[in-house]
Amino acid sequence: REDLWVREGKILNPEKLFFDEKGSADIQLDCKDSIIAPGFIDVQINGGFGVDFSLATDDFKSGIDLVSQKILSHGVTSFCPTLVTSPPSVYHQVLPQISIRNGGAHGAGILGAHLEGPFISKEKKGAHPEHCLRTFKEGAFQDLLATYGSLDCVRIVTLAPEMKRSSEVIRELTKRGICVSLGHSVANLSQAEEAVQHGATFITHLFNAMLPFHHRDPGIVPAGRRVFYGMISDGIHTNPAALRIAHRAHPKGLVLVTDAIAGMGLAPGRHTLGQQVVEIDGLNTYIAGTKTLSGSVATMDTCVRHFQEATGCSVETALEAASLHPAQLLGIEHKKGTLNYDSDADFLMLNDGLYVQATYIAGEEVWRQDALGM
């Protein structure tokens, strides 16, 4: 109901302007009853618009630039490009081409890579190619380094905590400020809890690619206050009732992720996900010739709307699951994910149906719904 003041890319405390500087606004914008919300942060996105982050190409940079430009219309202002299980040669070629950068008119900001695999369970590999999966050998952390080549731009690593020697890997990654996520796993509750004690803070797409819930051993569940969990709220990967259960059990830990693949934004048909061919049929995506789900083609704003509808939560709660919670997960909530004073002026204008009308990064308009689409 009030004004949002922005200067030099940050959200400004107007008291300073009024009382210390006796200033006023240079530009005023009437937001016409829009909701203003922090920009969305997608911590698990495998590609989109024909671009697959797990394919090593010489023009990888132009692909990542295209995706970061196109997701502005979904309200995403920063993201973690995600690589699914791949051969070491792919990591060695792709990771040096990912650089952490601020968003702007060129596209959403890049917060660092999310490496989902290859240290995951064969039984719960989902859409990950089995021949590329790995276990930890002696000198487990050195093994991980050799596989990835470098951790310079890595923000999140998803691994299966039941693997031998995973504890030392979790400790080493955490020490370097890298978020460890548990996923694609057959871990039981005590293995998951032990991983959390060693520093794991996230669960990759809760309910997908893990053991089904059992009342005597619930498997990987958000244990304790410090654990966040991703949910693919596309109406396909998670039944609305499961979304409701998770949300009621631990609302502050829920992080919406798209898990989007190259086929997002494209017509149905055959596309890729790393080493695999996938088929898209409506919002369903399967590994070609199977009924194994493989990522999603839902956009982040679609996931927010579906989440709000499925759980009946407040608009604020739905928006925070795509902004505040991922920022807290990555430890950047002092800069992103809120509209607090001094935070980055990455924000959205949405209508009452939670459709994105305009996207701003550092206080600059980077995308607007054209007049016809309003």
Tell me the CATH number at 251. 3.20.20.140
In-domain check, residue 232: yes
In-domain check, residue 7: no
| CA dist., res. 204 & res. 116, Å (int) | 9
Residue 185, marked binder: no
Compute the average pLDDT of residues 247-273: 91
More confident residue, 363 or 222: 363
| Residue 370 annotated among the catalytic residues of the structure | no
In-domain check, residue 9: no
pLDDT tens column, 122-159 = 988 888 889 999 999 889 999 999 999 999 999 999 99
- pLDDT score of 322: 98
In-domain check, residue 25: no
Domain limits at 76? 38-340
In-domain check, residue 328: yes
* Minimum mean pLDDT range among 65-69, 293-297, 355-359: 293-297
| CA dist., res. 94 & res. 57, Å (int) | 8
What are the distances in angstroms from CA 335 to CA 77, 332, 348? 13, 6, 16
Contacts (Cβ under 8 Å, ≥6 apart) of 294: 126, 127, 261, 273, 276, 278, 285, 286, 287
Residue 374 CB burial class (10 angstroms; 0-12, 13-18, ≥19): exposed
pLDDT tens column, 66-85 = 999 999 999 999 999 999 99
What is the pairing mode between strands 284-287 and 35-38? unpaired
How many distinct helices (H) and strands (E) make up the chain?
10, 20
Residue 294, marked binder: yes
Look over the chain and give the mean of its residue pLDDT values, rounded to a whole number.
Answer: 91
In-domain check, residue 141: yes
Compute the average pLDDT of residues 24-29: 87
In-domain check, residue 33: no
Residue 108, marked binder: no
Q: Does the structure show a pLDDT above 90 at 258?
A: yes
pTM: 0.94
Compute the average pLDDT of residues 91-100: 96
| CA dist., res. 3 & res. 19, Å (int) | 17
Q: pLDDT-based confidence at 371, cuts 50/70/90?
A: low
- pLDDT score of 195: 92
Compute the average pLDDT of residues 111-121: 95
Please identify which of the residues 42, 259, 301, 346 carries the catalytic annotation.
259
Per the structure, how many domains does the chain have? 1
In-domain check, residue 305: yes
Q: Does the structure show a pLDDT above 60 at 374?
A: no
